[in-house]
Amino acid sequence: MPIIEPTHSAPPAEMIFDDWYPALRADKLRKGAHHTTLLLGIPLLLGRKNDGSLFALRDLCPHRGIPLSAGWFDGNTVTCKYHGWEFEPCSGQCTLIPSLTQHDSLDAQRIYAGAYPCVEKDGYAWVYMPAAGAGRIQPDDLAKLPPVPELPKFSQKFKSIHLTANLPCNVDHGIIGLMDPAHGPFVHQAWWWRSRSSIHEKSKVFEPIPHGFRMASHKPSVNSAPYRLLGVYGEDFTTTIDFVLPNRRYETIRCGNKWFSSLTTVTPVTPTTCRIDVIGAWNIFLHVPFVLPIVRYFGNRFVAQDQQTMVEQSEGLRYNPALMLIDDADKPAKWYFALKQARLKGTLGDNHPLTAPVTLHWRS
């Protein structure tokens, strides 16, 4: 999937470290395979050892800085191309410096390449990105890290898809585009979703949750066909949409024992670019043929509509225009910026922008 580079210097966003981000689809990493990627501006070498464990190394040799990806990975050891230093990739520990002789006192094992915690969940390799200068994360520290994000699932059997798109804008624009309720009838016009003529006034209750906010349970928009499809089961259904820092949107729709659930993340690739990843799962139509390719087709179209809009938006943002956030449709974006600032300052505990449930009104 090509990264869409901005054609100009797009405005950067501050990035939130000390948290988990999806770096790659885990199925790309078969045993002995490795891939490079960028996460929060840091080049990473990800791979899977022969014992099945995933690793994420900073893709720079601690000796002279050549990318470790220029060298070799044999399923157990990463070897640097330049002077052949060998590293155990999960810990980053150097295990061999070929040039050393018995006259040297240097202990290779005291040298480490940068290694980040890397965990497989919901089909992604999630990487924990510590703040610069935080020091090496020791094995004992792993239990103290926040939990790896997980898609809520409500039954053993389900189907799932992954969708992804690179966005040529910074993570803030990606996220406020994700939570923006007013663009739907314009960007996502389609016979199967909704049209401009279906615009009507909505009222939604939002409440604070830790590190984010929740659009409280309600009956979903009656003007969208996929939701009407769910209604075939004839029971009341409820939807909950949560936004949680740094970058997560959880949506669950439940109707009796039938459910649909999605986790969407917008991850900074660099300070000026980001990537949207969606995992969706459901337990309806499990035995109907062709549901998966149909969902994938429409899901990809939906994500591509957002992507195309942000490609066009980035053309305007190159001129660094003054922008505005309006009431009430842009209130969630304002809360996002307030939550993010509080988190970056370390004051989120007593500084939630939402102190009580509020009702927002907009037309979409």
Contacts to Fe ion from residues 239-278, by CB under 5 A: none
Least separation, in Å, of the C-beta of 329 and Fe ion?
A: 13
3-state secondary structure of 288: coil
Place of tokens 């949107």: 249
Least separation, in Å, of the C-beta of 310 and Fe ion?
A: 9
> From the list Fe ion, ligand FES, none, which binds 306 (C-beta under 5 to 8 Å, kind-based)?
Fe ion
> From the list ligand FES, Fe ion, none, which binds 161 (C-beta under 5 to 8 Å, kind-based)?
none
> From the list ligand FES, Fe ion, none, which binds 259 (C-beta under 5 to 8 Å, kind-based)?
none
> From the list Fe ion, ligand FES, none, which binds 85 (C-beta under 5 to 8 Å, kind-based)?
ligand FES
Token duo for residue 338: 């307030």
For ligand FES, the closer CB: 83 or 204: 83
Least separation, in Å, of the C-beta of 187 and Fe ion?
A: 5
Q: Where are the beta strands (DSSP E) in the chain?
A: 19-25, 34-39, 42-48, 54-58, 72-73, 78-79, 86-87, 94-96, 115-116, 118-121, 124-129, 159-167, 201-209, 212-218, 237-244, 248-255, 258-270, 273-282, 358-363
Q: Taking contact as CB under 5 A, which single stretch among the options 69-77, 153-161, 197-205, 303-311 is the one that binds Fe ion?
A: 303-311
Beta bridge partners of 86: 79, 96
| 59, 242, 251, 306: which one binds Fe ion (CB under 5 A) | 306
> From the list ligand FES, Fe ion, none, which binds 61 (C-beta under 5 to 8 Å, kind-based)?
ligand FES
Q: Please say whether the beta carbons of 100 and 65 come within 8 A.
A: no
> From the list Fe ion, ligand FES, none, which binds 360 (C-beta under 5 to 8 Å, kind-based)?
none
Residues that bind ligand FES (CB under 6 A): 61, 63-64, 66, 80, 82-83, 85
Beta bridge partners of 275: 166, 267
Least separation, in Å, of the C-beta of 71 and ligand FES?
A: 7
3-state secondary structure of 314: helix
Spatial CB neighbours of 193, under 8 Å, sequence gap ≥ 6: 184, 224, 225, 226, 302
For ligand FES, the closer CB: 80 or 244: 80
For ligand FES, the closer CB: 24 or 61: 61
For Fe ion, the closer CB: 24 or 176: 176
> From the list ligand FES, Fe ion, none, which binds 66 (C-beta under 5 to 8 Å, kind-based)?
ligand FES
Separation of alpha carbons 9 and 2, rounded Å: 18
For ligand FES, the closer CB: 59 or 277: 59
Token duo for residue 356: 């009580």
Beta bridge partners of 58: 44
Q: Taking contact as CB under 5 A, which single stretch among the options 67-75, 116-124, 280-288, 299-307 is the one that binds Fe ion?
A: 299-307
For ligand FES, the closer CB: 98 or 293: 98
Q: Residue 76: which of 32, 126, 37 has the closest Cα?
A: 32
Cα-Cα end-to-end distance for the chain: 32
The residues binding Fe ion (CB under 5 A) are: 306
